[in-house]
Chain A
Amino acid sequence: MDNQVRLDAHGEMLLRQYRELLPTLQQLADDASSQLRHALLEQGIYITAMEHRVKTEKSLTGKLELKGAKYKSIDDITDLVGLRVITFYTDEVDKVAAIAKRIFDIDWQESVDKRKLHKLDSFGYNSLHYICRLKTGGPRFELQMRTALQHVWSTIEHDTGYKGDVKIPDVYLRQFNRLAGMMELMDDEFSRLRTVLTDYRRQTLALVKSGKLDDVPLSRDSFRNYLDLHPFDRLNKRIAAVNQAEIWPVSVMSYLPVLESFGMETLGQVQHFIDENSEDAYQLALSQLAITDLDILSSNTALQYLCLVYVLKHDGGRDGLKSLYDLINGESDANGIVADMMMEQAKTLPFMQKKR
């Protein structure tokens, strides 16, 4: 124990009670943490961190020295066991709180929502504290719920000694308040942005499923949803039938930059590109594969041939094909060799003849 700290007889009595209770507290910390973690997982709530601790004797001694007379028995101290849940978003703090209410008994007299304590012109520490008890009884414990940004604020506030004994001049207090206000605003904006993005994804998915592809901007998310409709399956199967080939599934997402480089801005344009070029893509693939016995193809074969045809139809020529392969495979001189080979085969095809 710190030699500087002198407890009165009442304080010493509380400390003895704490020592006797310590094994129970350690078990409580583990049990409460495990119950909460399990419940969060069950509800699919992802958090950034969850911590639990039992108050150390040193920390308790300091507390008893300052305000030991306030507590009649050790049971009156509600933060001997502490749990802290740190969430990504502000609305998730409320979700964690709802789960805590379900799995623990909450002491509403002692619990406090510090988020609601601020005056109109003040900012700062925003956190939700519940004093809880396991449904099976035992000592109470404190559950703190806050966002990652609130946690950052709290940590920095602690580190700077902002709430210490020394009175901080107004000019610095104002700087603290400005930062606190900004953090609160950022927290709210992140939550709002997440809601907006979730809505956007939902709407996009609905449009894709309803076939209103012209209304859906081409993006990573929308293209992924579009792929759920298997838009290249028909052409892949047709090409595979040439040699009774197996189709080996691979990701088609690497072709998204290619479609974007063609100036496509909506899924409707992608669908039109497929409809418009499928026959010629098949003919090009046929010219390549029919003279081989290759009976395995990747699932991006159809899209590759569609892109080749698109480039050739738009007068890309050999250099266009080389640029296409540079985008697909990464830049390399070898792509020029492949472009030459494709160009040679494509020359004889009807769509190339028509262009002349």
Chain B
Amino acid sequence: MKTTIQEIDGNMVAILEGSLDTAAAADTEKAMSPLNDVEGKDIIIDCTDLAYISSAGLRIFLGILQNAQAKGGHVYIKGINDTVRGIFTITGFSNIFEFM
């Protein structure tokens, strides 16, 4: 699992590649932690190359969302595949995030 964070067009973008399963969650959470310090910018989680997300991965996303919303920010999820979209849907989180 590879996580890259960079600023693109004034947004903080986290690019996730691989499978965000339980084993990869701890490292991914650490790699994504700079997003919790973001203020005044939107966050985009680019999931174009994310094959799978586990509950632990959902918790990371929810934590980032909660943190951003408390500061009036937005979190957008970009490019999810059908598997990941299905996971967001069956767990009832599909209308919590903004998808692009």
State the A residues within 8 Å of B (CB).
245, 248, 250, 254, 285, 288-289, 292-301, 304, 325, 328-330, 332, 334, 337-338, 341-342
Do A293 and B55 form a contact, CB below 8 Å, given A301-B91, A329-B94?
A: yes
B99 to A329, Cβ gap below 8 A?
yes
A328 to B87, Cβ gap below 8 A?
no
In residues 44-100 of chain B, which contact A (Cβ within 8 Å)? Answer: 54-55, 58-59, 62, 82, 85-87, 89-96, 99
Q: Chain B interface residue count: which class?
A: 10 to 19
Residue of B nearest to A289 (CB): B90
Task: Give 28 A-B contacts (CB < 8 Å), ordered by A residue.
Answer: A248-B93, A254-B95, A285-B90, A289-B90, A292-B87, A293-B55, A294-B54, A294-B55, A294-B58, A294-B87, A296-B58, A296-B59, A297-B91, A298-B91, A298-B92, A298-B93, A299-B92, A300-B92, A300-B95, A301-B91, A301-B92, A325-B94, A329-B99, A334-B85, A337-B82, A337-B85, A338-B85, A341-B86
A250 and B97 CA atoms in complex are apart in Å by: 11
Q: Please give, as numbers and ranges, the residues of chain B lying within 8 Å of A254 by CB-CB distance.
A: 95
A298 and B73 CA atoms in complex are apart in Å by: 21
Q: Please give, as numbers and ranges, the residues of chain B lying within 8 Å of A248 by CB-CB distance.
A: 62, 93
Residue of A nearest to B83 (CB): A341
A-B contact count (CB 8 A): 59
A338 and B55 CA atoms in complex are apart in Å by: 19
B95 to A329, Cβ gap below 8 A?
yes
B85 to A293, Cβ gap below 8 A?
no
Q: Please give, as numbers and ranges, the residues of chain A lying within 8 Å of B55 by CB-CB distance.
A: 245, 293-296
Q: Please give, as numbers and ranges, the residues of chain A lying within 8 Å of B96 by CB-CB distance.
A: 250, 298
A288 to B58, Cβ gap below 8 A?
no
